[in-house]
Amino acid sequence: MQLQDRVAIVTGSGGGLGRTHALFLARHGARIVVNDVSAEQAQTVVREIEAAGGEAMALPASVTDEAAIEAGVAAVLARWGRIDILVNNAGILRDKSFAKMTIDDFRKVVDVHLIGAAICSKAVWEPMRERHYGRIVMTTSSSGLYGNFGQANYGAAKMALVGLMQTLAIEGAKYGIRVNALAPTAATAMTHGVLPDESLSRLDPALVSNGLLALTGEQAPTRAILCAGAGHFATANVTLTNGTYIGHDEGAGDRVIERWADIDDREGEAVPAYGFFQAEREVASAQRAAAA
């Protein structure tokens, strides 16, 4: 029971992967706040958790409704006095090729995935800072990390969540707040029709939820991107090649083309600890070139 008495909010947990997450965390001792746009579905999961001997409460609201989320967080604090874990799982799909996609399709997906996660993270941020403890999990996707046809809106939102994770992890470090991302592959209503039936049969959402124990426990890492599906786990990283100094004279643009192989050489690439790592290395390279 590694999460005994921890309080966890799981967004979009009235069904699908979110429900599986909620049940998993409850089995490991956490008190669960079941968030969903459907009050009926949220309450159904609450009853499931309670029937299994756990504690849970419903938070029926859209993650895009800032006032409702803030009121829900206040209700959680009034009942249990703390919020230890937030799993930003809520999401929608509006899949179409970019040529056929409307900006409204794009905006709605970004609003739920990205703005919704920001709203929920902001609502728990101060309570976590005050207690010097917090675990936040963003739900990213291979579609964001690597792209996927017909998912420009979804992929953009999912990669944006990685950027949000990176910065919140840096800002939360001194307050004991660790922020990570989960990139799941699971058979849910969102993946039916996207993956073949044979693949879906192996992608039980429960196999993804197992990764949450590492991301939400006492020994959780921070700034990790955990890819999970079919019982397989891996990490993804945003890396930076060593690159090469080109200079800034009239022929610099041509030399970027000529030396692309050197610029793109991945041997010895780094995982920057912070955004300014790139700028620091670029300036150091220029200084070395000037001194040569």
Q: What's at 56, amino acid-wise?
A: A
The number of angstroms, rounded, from the C-alpha of 140 to the middle of its chain's C-alpha atoms is: 4
pLDDT on residue 192: 58
Are residues 62 and 178 located together in one domain of the fold?
Answer: yes
On whether residue 245 sits in a domain, the answer given is no
pLDDT on residue 194: 61
User: What SS3 class is residue 37?
Assistant: coil
Are residues 185 and 284 located together in one domain of the fold?
Answer: no
Are residues 14 and 123 located together in one domain of the fold?
Answer: yes
From residue 20, how far is each of 26, 112, 143, 144 by CA, in Å? 10, 20, 21, 22
pLDDT on residue 292: 82
Which entry of 146, 154, 245, 274 is annotated as an active-site residue?
A: 154
Are residues 259 and 187 located together in one domain of the fold?
Answer: no
Are residues 224 and 270 located together in one domain of the fold?
Answer: no
- Number of domains composing the chain: 2
How many angstroms separate the CA atoms of 264 and 87, rounded? 35
Q: What is the pLDDT of residues 215-264, one digit of tens each?
A: 999 999 999 999 999 999 999 999 999 999 999 999 999 999 999 999 99
Are residues 174 and 208 located together in one domain of the fold?
Answer: yes
The domain in which residue 262 lies consists of 252-291
Are residues 173 and 285 located together in one domain of the fold?
Answer: no
On whether residue 126 sits in a domain, the answer given is yes
Contact of 33 with 59, CB cutoff 8 Å:
yes
Are residues 201 and 258 located together in one domain of the fold?
Answer: no
pLDDT on residue 93: 94
Q: Which residues fall within 8 angstroms of residue 9, CB to CB, at 6 or more apart?
A: 33, 35, 59, 73, 76, 83, 85, 86, 87, 120, 124
Q: What is the pLDDT of residues 57-108, one digit of tens each?
A: 999 999 999 999 999 999 999 999 999 999 999 999 999 999 999 999 999 9
Are residues 20 and 150 located together in one domain of the fold?
Answer: yes
Are residues 82 and 119 located together in one domain of the fold?
Answer: yes
Q: What is the pLDDT of residues 187-213, one digit of tens each?
A: 765 555 666 676 777 888 899 999 999
pTM of the model: 0.94
Are residues 142 and 68 located together in one domain of the fold?
Answer: yes
Q: What is the pLDDT of residues 25-46, one digit of tens each?
A: 999 999 999 999 999 999 999 9
Residue 203: give its domain's CATH number. 3.40.50.720
Catalytic residue list contains 175: no
Are residues 126 and 265 located together in one domain of the fold?
Answer: no
